[in-house]
Every structure is written in C-alpha cells, then in structure tokens.
Structure 1
C-alpha cells in the first residue's frame, strides 16, 4: 500500500497476492518504481502508475535482501548468493532488462551503494584472512575480514586513487571543486553509463583498516558504514574519499537512514530514533 506522506486520502493497494513474506520496499529516486524482494528468493520491480510487476532476478540459494537504486533510477545493484553460499554483486539495467554479475563468486560481497554523482559503486567484501589462534581451542579463526571497496562505473572513469597522486588529490573533481559539491540549480540526474565488463578489474580497496562492516551508504564526499558484529549495535562511521581512516559519527546504532540529498541521517539507537 501507499498513501500521501501527510496521511491524507485513502491508502492505495499496490499488490494483491499477499501469500508470501516480503522484504523492504525501496523507492526509485524518481519516485516512479519500487523494488522489493520476497521469500521465494525473488527480487521484484513494481511500476507505481500502472501497477505492472516484473521479476528482476531469482536466487537458487537464499533470499535477496540487499539491493539499491542508481541515482538516475535506471539500474539496481543487488546481492545474490550462489550455490557455494558466497555472495556477489549483480546489476540489473531497466532500459533493456539485462542482468550482469559484477563481482566474482570467490568472495562474500554485500551492501552495494552508488556514488550519487555516478562515478563509483561501493560495496563491502570479506577478502582479508586475518588469522587468529584461539586461546581455548587448538584452532584458527578469521576475524575483521571485511573492507570497503570501490570501482568506477565506467571503464574510462577516473580511478578513486589515481596513480599520478602527486598531481591529483583524491576527493577533488577535475574542476577543482570538492567532490560532493554541486550547483544548487542542478535538479536533474544525467543518465549513467555502467560498463559491467571488466568491473572486477577496476575494484580497489578504500583506505581504511579491515573490520566488521555493514550498512554502507554514500554521499558525494564519501561513505557511511556501521562497524560492529551483526546482530548488535555498531559504531556509525564516515570515510571521506581523501581519508585514510573513517571518523566516528555516533555509537550504539542499530540502523540508520541517509536522506536522499546525503545531508541528513536518521539514527536508531535501541527503540529510539
């Protein structure tokens, strides 16, 4: 169902086959479509005006619960598990209906987030093997295995950390303005070009230590992330594009939402917001 945000008018029913559990509807930035998943391991796309619904993709292993829209509303990045129970980042293109696997099956990738300026796709991946010997058992374990990664959306896009670092400062655009600064008169988002081919070869680790990360969100200046074990509260941090380590934002956060313009945060701490 949807209804006006001010509570006026009657709710409008969007779906009628309520025989299965559904997950977290996500509005497209242009407010014309909804993406939502269900317990049949499907990711669905719903057109608000017509009510037409289509299946974006279906997993044969686990539910698809991690998905996000591109800023131009033309792509959905989502996470799908494979038969080995690893997870990869996939891309769905609305204009032609094509699906592309962006990251390899060898890792556990998740939490994709588009740069709102259309330069990068960020995600979290467990690619580090930090061996620790147990104090009680004759055994090894791996902890703090995740890092934050980024890849240029275009094959010819400017890398996050250019090799000519003496000439180019990360966090600065070609016009010398800080990344994330925009002309206030700009209201539309230009269509993105995303080159799926060679995406994995463009992936770089961002300049932050390994950790236990989840809940990645991005604005034009960097990424927000929750640091802490799953199932409990975490520390909300912000990693700027030109920073070597994230800065603390708030503690004991169960979840958070970043506003569409990337300027405000809604935090949940316990049962309080």
Structure 2
C-alpha cells in the first residue's frame, strides 16, 4: 500500500511488500488509516486430494499516521469498580443480571449532541430508535501530517477474526465493511454477503444488513444506502441501524434521454477503453484515432442500439484480435416460451399416425444438472411407448409435440402413453420437466465416448472431456479424473472447449510426477506421493472449436511433455479480457487486455491457433456413419504406448528387523 504526498510529490510505501494489503480507508480525525491485509495462512483442505485453498484470510488493520498517536485498541482493564449501594431499595432477591440498566450510548450520537436547553428539558423523551445524526466531532487539521519513518510497523489488528472482508469504510467511532462467502466456481457461496459495523469504543461487531450487493455511506456518516437483492434500502449507520431499514422506491424513477446522444457517448467510450486498456499500446500498428474518425460518420445512420453494436464491432475488428466482444444495450428481446422438456426424443410412426418415444436420455439423477425426467423414480416410461396426449390434449401425427409442451416448464406434465397406438388400456404418467436438454445430450455423448475407449482398450484407458475452462470444465475434470486415476492410459478431450481460465489448474495436476509410494496394511494398492499422480501415457484431442483457454490447454499439454495432440488446429484467441464496467445503457464491451507469450517472451497462438502433432479430420461422411476418427486415432496412439503395463508396483514384503 502506498501514500502519495502532495507536498513533495513523493510516493511512500507504507506496508510490507511481501503481503497483500488493500482497501485503505482514512480515519476522519486524521490519526489512522484502516486497511485490509491477507495475513491468515491456515488454509482449507480439499476432500478429494490432500491440497489446500485459502479462505477467510484477511484481517482489518489500523495504522497510526504519527508516532505520537495512541494505540487504537489498548489493553482493557479487568478491574471492577466498587460503588456505593443504591439509596433506593431493590426488590429482595433480584439477580444482578436482571437489575434495570441504562441503555448503551451510541458514540456518534453522544458526540453530536449539543448542550441541553431549558426547552429541551421540557420535551418528551425521544423514541427508542432515534434518527441517526451526522457526526459533529472536531474536524481534522487542513494539512494531514504523516510520519513515514517506521510507519509500516505501526499497524494494529482490529480485534476481529479473519474473514472475507471487502468495502472497508471508516466514520467517526466506527468501521463499516462487507463480509462475503468463499468463492465457489459454478455454485453460490456458503452464506450471503452481509454489511457489518464495528464500534471502536465498544469493540463489538453488529450486522446491519444481509444479502448485500454493495453499499454507499453518506458524507456525514449518518446514513448508509444498501443494495440488497434487486432493491435499495436506507439504514442508520449505527450499531442499532438494522432496525431503521427504509426502502428506497425505484419503480417510479424515470429519466429523459435522447438515444442518439447516448449512442455517441457509448461509441466514444468504447474507443477510449480500447485506447487505454488494449494489451499493447501500439494498437497492432493501426492509427486508432484515424479509425475512430473513419467510423464516427456512421453514427448518423444508427437507428437502433443493435445498429450501434454493428458499427462498434466493425471498428474494433480492424485491430484483428479475438475476444473483441460487443453485447447488450438498451433494447429488449422477447422472452422465449419455457418448454417443459422430458429429456427424450419423439419419432412419428407413419403407419399409425402417432408419436412414440424413440430415445430416453439416461442422465444421472444424482446431479440436478443431469436430471433426466423420464428416468426418475415413479415415472414409468419406456422407449417405444406411444404418446397419445399431453396434459389431456390429444397428440396426433399432424401436430408437433413441442407445441403442446410450450409454457409447461413450471408444473408437472402428464403424458398419456400406451404400448400400442390406442387409447384403450392407456396410462398416464407425470414428470417434472426441464427447460434445456443440452446437458443430457452432452452427457450422452461423453458416456458413449468413454464406452468406446473402454471397449477398444479392454478397460485399460480412461477418457475425460473438458467442455470449457470455467465452472463446467473444472467440475467435469474433478468428477471424472480422480475415478480414472489408476487407469493405465488417458485420453484428454478438449474439442469444442469454450475457454475460461482454469487450464493452469488442470495442467498442474496432469503433469505431477511420481516420487514415491505409500502402502497401508489393509490396502494392497499404493497411494502416490504426491497425491493424484497419473502414471500412464496421455494424448489430447483438439479441433477448430478449442478456443481461448481451450487453445492454451493443448499448447501447455505439449509444452509439459504430457503427450501428442491429435485433431485439427485450434481457434487462436488468447488475449484475455477484463470487465471495466457496464456502458451507460447497460451494454457490455470486452477489451483484450492481457496477451499470452511463451517462456522466451514471444507472443504465441493469437490469430493462428495450436497445430496438432497428428492431424485428423472428422469428415462429414465419418460423422454421419457414427464414427469419430479423431477419437479412434487417440485410442490407436495410446495403445501403441501401452506395450508395457504402467500399473503401480505391488506392495513389497514386510521387512524383517529381528536381530540375528
């Protein structure tokens, strides 16, 4: 953490350069600077391998700005004050804990009070939850004096435990901050984010609000506006503020706007973001100012927000870079009807003029993402059953079954089915629908591939497909890698991988080297050291749709010496993007900000892709015949490398340590 001095223009480092410090907040009185720092190093441990992940690793600190500033949290005395007995008699037998006490005083309110007048004395007592008042403490001096000598050592931890803190603010007598959940890739955190307030005098933390998206404190420190879910609420910024919640209505908010003026601002904003954040300042050799002037005249012809997206996309595409995405904006797309899908395929039996079930996706009902409705307990449907009606409406061969399933996604759907194309003897089944069968189609494909590999290798080789390098990809890797870790060989398929950012995690695990083994008495198979080592040969499959981090993975697979690449050249886009916030109307723009280079410091992959070591095309004829030449070549290559078994050695005989 650094402080810039306006007097001499110098930048002063005020925290240790070995540890992460962030989110500074000035004490209103000019005595301290509060900040967050990641200084808790006791990690969580994975349940699938002996490895760690950090969580709740930040503390809140107060740094004194001068040597004469007192410790913000000095030792508290445990002495008990001896007082005279009350003059008024207490009821006999009243426990001390139940004796009447004055309410706790709020520091901000006490500091903001003015001397009472005679008129004030005649006023009735205030309510139990008075309106919060602005802080009225003396203002700090105009010139803030900081003693930089030894400042890094003048930090004291706020007496709170480590947590996932963020959004630290300071007001007189109190700190405000958010506490969030651990980050899970692909699912919500283990708790909602909350806004807390800490009383420096009382050394107590209070929760102001739950389910918080963000907050903003007023300049006088009296109020805090909190974004909660889709709404906004106003609170008193005091430890008792949780009872002061007032909704801030936004339904009637309106703004006068001239779309053409917004479009001009958005166009120039996008141009500026590329000027300031594009990963190389030379803009790939193009005159970026000239390109703006070339496309700016087209704004007069823009009549809809989608037209603006088209103009912007044409301008930024001049830079010849991938990941140059333009999306959204102030226009609406009508919602599609939610179809109550059964996880099955229908076919028309022309002989009877009726539909029947041609395929039921097997699914994996243990996981909601792969739930297959017609395979759930109590749903008795079979391939070949005729579907005679949907929710009581007859389904004829001249109709479309999906028409009858529109807008049925939110309630159970009833199918009238029979083994023959007749209502006589028909039965009714009910299923919980899904709205997207994409996951079931994907599971069906990878299960078929795994069976092909197992059959072709007599069970010796494993198969894993990684659909992207994001939440789906890391989930599938964890799910399928560890159960197959003792296979003799492995085919890693990253065809149609949509990219993301976890390839480094996967490569780190795949390239682990066996250093030693560990045997237990009751288990014949060894554990590897380090954990999770795959000891057999590997190959990777890629194609033209292996993109972004899906480009990087096969390149690093080869760089790590893990095995050959089989398939077609990949997409070729590895300049990463970051989110710099929404545009004025809610639209989005992605600026390529971080380029990928090899260990020699040379730009690689972008605009070209990754060449396979063995080029194999899945030609249309083979695909229509149900074949997968790329997978077949992967099997052939892996078997060629399995001339000798790659199993771990069996447990050695027990050592004899008796003395002779």
Shorter-chain TM-score range:
0.5 to 0.7
* Separation in structure 1 between the aligned mates of residue 201 and residue 10 of structure 2, nearest angstrom: 34
Once the two structures are superposed, the pairs formed by residues 94-113 of structure 1 within 5 Å of their partners are: 94-113=6-25
Task: Give per-residue Cα distances to partners, 1:17-71, cap 9 Å, x unaligned.
Answer: xxxxxxxxxxxxxxxxxxxxxxxxxxxxxxxxxxxxxxxxxxxxxxxxxxxxxxx
Does residue 137 of structure 1 match 2:96? no
Tell me the secondary structure at the aligned position of residue 40 of structure 2: coil
Picking from 209, 228, 231, the partner of 1:250 is 209
- Structure with the higher fraction of residues in helix conformation: 2
* Separation in structure 2 between the aligned mates of residue 118 and residue 266 of structure 1, nearest angstrom: 25
Does residue 218 of structure 1 match 2:170? yes
* Separation in structure 2 between the aligned mates of residue 237 and residue 181 of structure 1, nearest angstrom: 21
* Separation in structure 1 between the aligned mates of residue 19 and residue 153 of structure 2, nearest angstrom: 14
| Aligned length in residues | 175
1:130 CA drift (Å): 1.9
1:183 CA drift (Å): 7.8
1:118–1:187 distance in 2 versus 1, CA, 3 Å: closer
Tell me the secondary structure at the aligned position of residue 223 of structure 1: strand
* Separation in structure 2 between the aligned mates of residue 186 and residue 157 of structure 1, nearest angstrom: 18
Does residue 156 of structure 1 match 2:108? no
Moved more, 252-261 or 224-233: 224-233
Q: Is the 8 A contact 1:118 1:192 kept in 2?
A: yes
1:189–1:204 distance in 2 versus 1, CA, 3 Å: closer
Match of 1:263 in 2: 222
Larger Rg: 2
1:203–1:189 distance in 2 versus 1, CA, 3 Å: closer
Match of 1:199 in 2: 151
* Separation in structure 2 between the aligned mates of residue 240 and residue 217 of structure 1, nearest angstrom: 13
* Separation in structure 1 between the aligned mates of residue 113 and residue 147 of structure 2, nearest angstrom: 27
* Separation in structure 2 between the aligned mates of residue 103 and residue 255 of structure 1, nearest angstrom: 27
1:134–1:101 distance in 2 versus 1, CA, 3 Å: same
Structure 1 length normalisation: TM-score?
Answer: 0.58
* Separation in structure 1 between the aligned mates of residue 139 and residue 45 of structure 2, nearest angstrom: 53
Tell me the secondary structure at the aligned position of residue 111 of structure 2: coil
Picking from 103, 111, 122, the partner of 1:181 is 111
1:243 CA drift (Å): 4.1
Once the two structures are superposed, the pairs formed by residues 35-114 of structure 1 within 5 Å of their partners are: 89-114=1-26
Task: Give per-residue Cα distances to partners, 1:196-238, cap 9 Å, x unaligned.
Answer: 2211111011111110000000111120000004888620001
1:187–1:208 distance in 2 versus 1, CA, 3 Å: closer
1:138 CA drift (Å): 2.0
Picking from 7, 28, 37, the partner of 1:116 is 28
Picking from 194, 198, 201, the partner of 1:235 is 194
Q: RMSD of the TM alignment (CA)?
A: 2.7
1:142 CA drift (Å): 2.2
Q: Is the 8 A contact 2:195 2:208 kept in 1?
A: yes
Q: Which has the higher contact order (CA 8 A, sep 6+)?
A: 1
Match of 2:77 in 1: 166
* Separation in structure 1 between the aligned mates of residue 50 and residue 138 of structure 2, nearest angstrom: 60
Picking from 160, 175, 194, the partner of 1:208 is 160
* Separation in structure 2 between the aligned mates of residue 153 and residue 269 of structure 1, nearest angstrom: 35
* Separation in structure 1 between the aligned mates of residue 5 and residue 170 of structure 2, nearest angstrom: 20
Tell me the secondary structure at the aligned position of residue 63 of structure 2: strand
Ranges in structure 1 where 5+ consecutive residues have no aligned partner: 1-88, 168-176
* Separation in structure 2 between the aligned mates of residue 139 and residue 230 of structure 1, nearest angstrom: 17
1:187–1:144 distance in 2 versus 1, CA, 3 Å: closer
Tell me the secondary structure at the aligned position of residue 153 of structure 2: helix
1:258–1:230 distance in 2 versus 1, CA, 3 Å: farther
Q: Is the 8 A contact 2:28 2:140 kept in 1?
A: no
Tell me the secondary structure at the aligned position of residue 200 of structure 1: helix
1:188–1:115 distance in 2 versus 1, CA, 3 Å: closer
Q: Is the 8 A contact 1:258 1:264 kept in 2?
A: yes
- Structure with the higher fraction of residues in strand conformation: 1
* Separation in structure 1 between the aligned mates of residue 107 and residue 31 of structure 2, nearest angstrom: 14
1:129–1:228 distance in 2 versus 1, CA, 3 Å: same
Structure 2 length normalisation: TM-score?
Answer: 0.25
Match of 2:510 in 1: none
